[in-house]
Chain A
Amino acid sequence: MYHHLEFEKPISELENKIVDLRKFAEENNIDLNNEVNILTRRLEAMKKEIYSGLNPWQKVRLARLQERPKALDYIQKLFSDFIELHGDRYYGDDGAIIAGIGMLSDIAVTVIAHQKGRDLEENLSRNFGMPHPEGYRKALRLMKQAEKFKRPIITLIDTPGAYCGLEAEERGQGEAIASNLLHLSRLKTPIISIVIGEGGSGGALALGIADRMAMLEHSIYSVISPEGLSSILWKDSSLAQRAADIMKLTAQDLLQLKVIDAIIQEPLGGAHRDIQVVTENMREYLLGELRILSRHSPQVLLDTRYEKIRSIGAWK
């Protein structure tokens, strides 16, 4: 069952009212169509108003929502003949990162994605979408393979961040991320990244060096979590909402800061309301941009990618 977020409460109340009214009309055999129509129109207006005016914290909640589609949900719908490939060939296979090959329409692609769990059990095996170094090394191995076979790379980003644990440090979390940043910047094949939920810091960036960078409408991307920032600033992680307000972490903020190239629309209320709509929007974006990128020579591709990364920043 879907758990409503607090700001969605007026919507669910009105939705319930409409259901009750319909039921009442049916049971008592009276015509309340007019009333139902009025309320339905009011509901639509209310939805539009609430969802188009979400504040950053509400976006954070939506981006992390359990019901929000995860990478595998999109992969199943976007790519035909998808074959998952496992392991970094050094240490192990990291469930927090999904990697594989498949077809996007008639284009063979390599897909790399963070996978959060859709329930507690899956979350435990996926470590809540927080990769260890071997996850990033698996990603790099398969991205180099993509370059070898001239396949474009599509990455889907959805992680609270790289895992902050003892073993992750022992196996070189910093080195693994750094190495991805360096190599991705020079891969001679088009790369497109889409943040589908939560873009958590370096753990997200390690899959996010791309020729095109897009975010779903209600996704977020930041250098630190709002909880992390508020605990640093005010020694209190419960002030995360206040932190979110000043961080500029929404897709709309990032477009304005020129960190991303595009926002992909979600249906009213968020991706989980209708994954088909989001998938079609993603497909259209990916095919359109791949068409443009495939016309570039490798040198132009690399030079443009470098300039794109190079130009981010602001000083006096």
Chain B
Amino acid sequence: MLKDLFNKKSYITINMYEGGRSPISNAIKPEDKLAAHTAKEQKKTERISARVRIRTIIDEGSFQEYDTDLEAWNPLEFPDYPQKLASAMAATDEKEAVITGEGKVLGMGCVIGVMNPSFMMGSMGTVVGEKLTRAIEKAIEKKLPLIIFTASGGARMQEGILSLMQMAKTSAALARLAEEGILYIAVLTDPTTGGVTASFAMLGDIILAEPRALIGFAGPRVIEQTIKQRLPEGFQRSEFLMEKGFVDKIVIRENLKETLAAILKIHSIGGEHNVSSPRI
């Protein structure tokens, strides 16, 4: 079954998106379907919750969630933070702005972290940093590839300097993952900004992005205030980042699972296998 998916359907759908830029290959289906995809990729992709995202990426029944009990508290005694956390929990039915765990993508195992843009704007406090770091360490321990979906307004200011240090923590863990030769795919979704952009979002071996997602270090409003002029249309969108060389590929949501599976497959048969087997 897996073979079928790779030999036919998935490669076709992956190519579909590239149709806009590169010559259309023979594999691509009728024009009308292409047009529909092109229209879709120009539209900003709607934000979805981390739970829904996991359902769309991870094979049914294969997801095992990590660290479900980890909950933020108020280390700086920041005013109203506990209330903000409580209402975010009530609104999202989640305990924090990231879900981590392991599962399968078209049969291939991976560790996955997915940020939730609707939980306090997906901001990274110490629990987000800790859950992701533990997930990275699990990937090292189990020698599994890692996928992180980013969606964040940046560091969580209510946890002050401790939030900032989560950038260091996640990046240091990713450095260890890299030394072990384990694949890390970052998938940037709307919005990915601030401390998340300046840490794990930009550290993927392969960086994918959803169409039209806002991706940047500083937010557009802050930049406009700094330079005292309006930003050009499309600035800090996925397409802009790809043009500037910071994103490997833009993938529409419908094709994400197949694209991730294709990347995982290529990496599962690379490396030592390639070196030891004779070439034709």
Chains A and B are bound partners: yes
Chain A residues in the interface with B (C-beta under 8 A):
162-166, 168-175, 177-179, 181-183, 185-186, 201-202, 205-206, 208-209, 221-224, 229, 232, 246-249, 254, 257, 259, 305-306, 309-310, 312-316
Tell me how far the C-beta of B172 lies from the nearest C-beta in chain A, rounded to whole angstroms: 4
Mark each residue of chain B from 157 to 169: 1 if its CB lies under 8 Å from any CB of chain A, else 0.
1011111111111
Tell me how far the C-beta of B171 lies from the nearest C-beta in chain A, rounded to whole angstroms: 4
Q: Flag if B217 contacts A179 (CB, 8 Å).
A: no
With the chains together, A166 CA to B225 CA distance in Å? Answer: 11
Chain B residues in the interface with A (C-beta under 8 A):
70-73, 75-76, 78-79, 126-127, 129-130, 133, 155, 157, 159-169, 171-176, 178-179, 194-195, 197-203, 216-218, 222-223, 226-227, 231, 235-236, 244-246
Q: Flag if B217 contacts A173 (CB, 8 Å).
A: yes
What residues on A are CB-neighbors of B223 within 8 Å? 164-166, 169
The 4 closest A-B pairs by CB, nearest first: A313-B126, A174-B197, A164-B218, A181-B171
Q: Flag if B160 contacts A182 (CB, 8 Å).
A: no
What residues on B are CB-neighbors of A313 within 8 Å? 126-127, 129-130, 162, 165-166, 169
With the chains together, A309 CA to B200 CA distance in Å? Answer: 15
Q: Flag if B198 contacts A315 (CB, 8 Å).
A: no
With the chains together, A134 CA to B197 CA distance in Å? Answer: 17
Q: Flag if B164 contacts A165 (CB, 8 Å).
A: no
Q: Flag if B160 contacts A248 (CB, 8 Å).
A: yes
* 6 CB < 8 A contacts A-B: A165-B223, A181-B168, A186-B179, A206-B198, A257-B162, A310-B172
With the chains together, A186 CA to B176 CA distance in Å? Answer: 8
With the chains together, A268 CA to B71 CA distance in Å? Answer: 43
On whether A164 and B161 interact (CB within 8 A), knowing A183-B175, A202-B195, the answer reads no
- Report which of B71, B168, B174, B178 forms a contact with A209, defined as CB distance below 8 A: B168
On whether A315 and B167 interact (CB within 8 A), knowing A182-B175, A248-B76, the answer reads no
